[in-house]
Amino acid sequence: MQYVQLGRSGLKVSRLCLGTMNFGDHTSEADSTVIMDKALELGMNFFDTANVYGWKLGEGVTEQIIGRWFAQGGGRREKVVLATKVYGKMGEWPNESKLSAFHLKRACEDSLRRLKTDHIDLYQMHHVDRATPWEEIWQAMEQLYREGKILYVGSSNFAGWHLAQAQELAKSRSFFGLVSEQSLYSLLERAIELEVIPACQAYGIGLIPWSPLARGLLGGALAPATSGRRTEQDVRQDLETHRPKLEAYEALCRELGEQPADVAIAWLLHQPAVTSPIIGPRTSSQLTGSMRALDLLLSAKTLTRLDRIFPGPGGPAPEAYAW
């Protein structure tokens, strides 16, 4: 396993991050336990979850599964850099979502209880809350930090200007601010190259791409599928929309002698600011297979060919659309 520092922090995380969104939903608790054990065996120390995962209102199903796994002992908790998220709806009452100080305190304590731990290593805001001022958010995060309940703060789905706004106010408060941003990023989804990636580079924020395989479209989607995400109607529609690109992509992968999923993740590992793409295996064998991406070096020629198949926005703003 390869390790890299998370943003400008001194914290070292594995080059691939274990995503747990399938746990308790598409993956049983027994299989989830096997996957987490295998992740540690492979040297993966970075686990990502969210309080809403498991998709049963207010229950935090996935966090509970991880908490019961930690409770088995054997150094499981000590070996893991644990990341979870806050923002989503956790109840029917008015203050059971988003980023008010009221909700942040309760949501953090609830996550700690479900995860059976005394602290969260990386506490991530799952989305932008435009109704809550940054002064309130940072005051609440600072309090959680002082109490030892969180160590680092991250964001997810922020625009570049949100990152700048957050960091400048954190700096004025002598607070470390954001250490990571979790964004939608893949060969098929490259919009963040305009402003999010430049902001991450400027502020020393580690980039954690989610959906690196574009919901399976970059994982060999042209092959017939009888189960899994690729059988879902909206994914099938996206496949037809992008079929010409995917045909060219899979032909290139065959030429390279590599699996499409490995090439897609390897491409992300070649991009600036990227810390750890999130992989969401449903089985232990899928997890093991993902390790190939770590050793896959893409030549400049191959990267150029991938850019031709999946053209990005043209680089950072404003040069991408102006002189």
- Residues 98-110: tens digit of each pLDDT: 999 999 999 999 9
What are phi and psi for residue 289, nearest 5 degrees? -65, -25
Most trustworthy range by pLDDT among 24-28, 124-128, 215-219: 124-128
- Position 227 scores a pLDDT of 62
pLDDT digits (tens, 9 = 90+) for 46-80: 999 999 999 999 999 999 999 999 999 999 999 99
Query: What tokens does 98 get?
Result: 């988003």
pTM of the model: 0.94
Tell me the C-alpha distance between 70 and 193, whole Å: 37
pLDDT digits (tens, 9 = 90+) for 299-321: 999 999 999 999 999 999 999 99
All structural domains of the chain, each given as residue ranges with its CATH number in brackets, are 3-216+260-299 (3.20.20.100)
Query: What tokens does 87 get?
Result: 């923002």
Residue 182 in contact with residue 155, Cβ under 8 Å? yes
Choice among 53, 145, 152, 249 that is catalytic: 53
Residues linked to residue 81 through DSSP beta bridges, in sequence order? 46
Tell me the C-alpha distance between 152 and 141, whole Å: 9
Query: What tokens does 76 get?
Result: 């499981």
SS3 content of the chain, % helix, strand, coil (to 5): 40, 15, 45
- Position 230 scores a pLDDT of 60
- Position 224 scores a pLDDT of 78
Per-position b or e across 44-58, b if 16+ CB within 10 A of its CB: bbbbbbbbbbbeeee
The one-character DSSP state at 258 is -
In the three-class reduction of DSSP (H, G, I as helix; E, B as strand; rest coil), residue 81 is classed as strand
Nearest-Å Rg of the Cα atoms of the chain is 19
pLDDT digits (tens, 9 = 90+) for 161-214: 999 999 999 999 999 999 999 999 999 999 999 999 999 999 999 999 999 999
pLDDT exceeds cutoff 90 at 225: no
State mean pLDDT over 136-164.
Answer: 98
Angle at 52 (CA atoms; ends 23, 40), nearest 5 degrees: 40
pLDDT digits (tens, 9 = 90+) for 12-51: 999 999 999 999 989 999 999 999 999 999 999 999 999 9
pLDDT exceeds cutoff 80 at 290: yes
Closest CA to 195 of 303, 205, 10: 205
pLDDT digits (tens, 9 = 90+) for 241-287: 999 999 999 999 999 999 999 999 999 999 999 999 999 998 899 99
Give the chain's mean pLDDT.
Answer: 95
The one-character DSSP state at 188 is S
Instruction: Find the helix packing angle between 243-256 and 260-269, rounded to 10°.
Output: 90
Using 50, 70 and 90 to split pLDDT, how confident is the model at 235?
confident
Residues with Cβ < 8 Å from 282, sequence gap 6 or more?
22, 26, 27, 31, 228
Query: What tokens does 132 get?
Result: 């809550």
pLDDT exceeds cutoff 70 at 229: no
Q: Does the annotation count 203 as an active-site position?
A: no
Residues with Cβ < 8 Å from 90, sequence gap 6 or more?
51, 52, 57, 58, 60, 96, 97, 107, 110
